[in-house]
Amino acid sequence: MEKPLKNMSYELFIGLRYLRAKRKQTFISVISLISVLGITVGVTALIIVLSVMTGFEDTMKEKILGVNAHVVVVSFGGGVANYDKVTDNVKTVKGVVGASPFTYNQAMISSGASVTGAVIRGLDTKTAGTVTILPERVKQGSLDGVNVPLGGGAGAKGELPGIVLGNELSRNISAHVGDTVNVISPLGTMTPAGPVPRLAAFKVTGIFEIGMYEYDSNIAFISVPNAQKFFRLGDTVTGVEVKIADIYQADQTANAIMEKLGGRYWTRTWMEMNRNLFSALKLEKVAMFIILTLIILVAALNIISTLIMVVMEKNKDIAILKSLGATRAGIMKIFMIEGIVIGVVGTFSGAAIGIAAALNLERVVGLIERIFHFKVLPPSIYYIDRLPSKVEPMVVAVIIIISLGISFLATIYPSWQASRLHPAESLRYE
């Protein structure tokens, strides 16, 4: 034990010694412990909250971009004609991974006595998988049945054309794989008696689950030819969906696509279509970071008060050290070391607890839900069915640096005050 002490500076030795309370200094020790706990709680809360918000943002991107394309190509003044040629041209643009034509229309879907509004999207089953994750998310049945042609209510072999429903939509209208549903277009056919809604029977051939309530409860898919026939789109589609290699290069790729196709077409990126949502998420993340950093600032005030009380208690010790030749810088180091140790212990304890909690948050939430029999995040309200969490090393590093920086700054004033004490004044009444 003696060898390390010989190599240890007197500032470090005394600073660490002051952290160990004597019987008369128990109150100061309690304040030091509270300071450590304050920093620990602040760092833990920051890491958990920012990890949840990062995970929520990434989950939203995954689900939104899972159903919607990164870039959508549409035509000025109406639908996209010659969409096969447009799709082939888009695929030649650098950065494009896949392209697929689609249609987008609103209609009503009825099954028995149940009826609800929905978005009917037409897709090309051959290319849809290159743009969206829909084929991977079909939980029951398959997409193959949607290719049965719509003709007089039945296909060439007497089969009904297929439709794929979201799982929440299928529950709302009590429709399962193999059941027949009716799709009703509000833009009906004009007759002598007035407009009559168009109606066609479809067979439920698949049920998908994206995991985002907004999509699972409002979207149904049919084939592009059936959508063109039912909604009377002719030989046009609503647009062409495009998937790109780097989603953060969407603007550059969209501009390249417009240059390739010429002036008749324009594009919209996923960032433009969801700008308000992701801007709100980013603003909330920054706001929570600022608010939770205040917890660390409160703990830093405890460090200041702790050091001030230690300085007042150790006036005699400081005077003796100065009489023995200790410099003002040495006295400052003693008390700065004491404060920094409190900050380091609190910061790294909080980081360890925060990372462990964030990495296992879904398990903890799942356990709470099973014990108390309630849903922490009802998907009908929060769009998602689980509490996501993603720990970003860079964010954790920034939190640790800020916490250590605040702790260091909190030690400067009390340490400076300690270094200004005069030995004669301190020992006058001893």
**Average pLDDT, stretch 300-306?**
80
* The predicted structure's pLDDT at residue 234: 86
- C-alpha separations of 100 from 94, 134, 205, 223, 268 in Å: 16, 13, 21, 12, 15
In this model, does residue 385 exceed pLDDT 80? no
CB neighbours of 141 closer than 8 A, spacing ≥ 6?
A: 164, 177, 204, 205, 206, 207
Q: What's the pLDDT tens digit per position in 104-122?
A: 999 999 988 888 989 999 9
Residue extents of the structural domains in the chain: 9-62+277-427, 77-263
pLDDT above 50: residue 372: yes
Mean pLDDT over residues 260-283, rounded? 82
CA nearest to 63, candidates 172, 156, 136: 136
2 confidence band (pLDDT: 50, 70, 90): very low
Residue 199 has pLDDT above 70, yes or no: yes
Mean pLDDT score, 228-239:
90
Percentage of the residues of the chain whose pLDDT score is greater than 90: 16
In the chain, % of residues over pLDDT 70 = 84
pLDDT classification of 220: cutoffs 50, 70, 90: very high
- pLDDT given at position 155: 46
Of 166-175, 192-201, 279-288, least confident by mean pLDDT is 192-201
CA distance 430 to 427: 5
pLDDT band at residue 291 under the 50/70/90 scheme:
confident
What is the distance between the alpha carbons of residues 176 and 193, in angstroms, rounded to a whole number?
A: 36
Helices (H) and strands (E) in the chain, counts: 16, 10
Q: Which range has the worst mean pLDDT, 73-82, 308-317, 384-393, 411-420?
A: 308-317
Q: By the 8 A CB rule, do 322 and 10 touch? A: no
In the predicted model, what is the mean pLDDT of the chain? 81
Q: Which residues pair with 96 in a beta bridge?
A: 244
Mean pLDDT confidence for 324-342: 78
The lowest-confidence range among 18-32, 68-82, 263-277, 397-411 is 18-32
pLDDT (0 to 100) of residue 21 = 53
Query: Which range is least confidently modeled, 27-36, 144-153, 186-195, 318-327?
Result: 186-195
Alpha-carbon gap, residue 21 to 384, rounded angstroms:
50
- Confidence at residue 170, expressed as pLDDT on a 0 to 100 scale: 92
Q: Is pLDDT at 68 greater than 50 in this prediction?
A: yes
H or E stretch including 141? strand 138-141
Distance, in Å, from the CA atom of 331 to the CA atom of 11, rounded to the nearest integer, reads 7
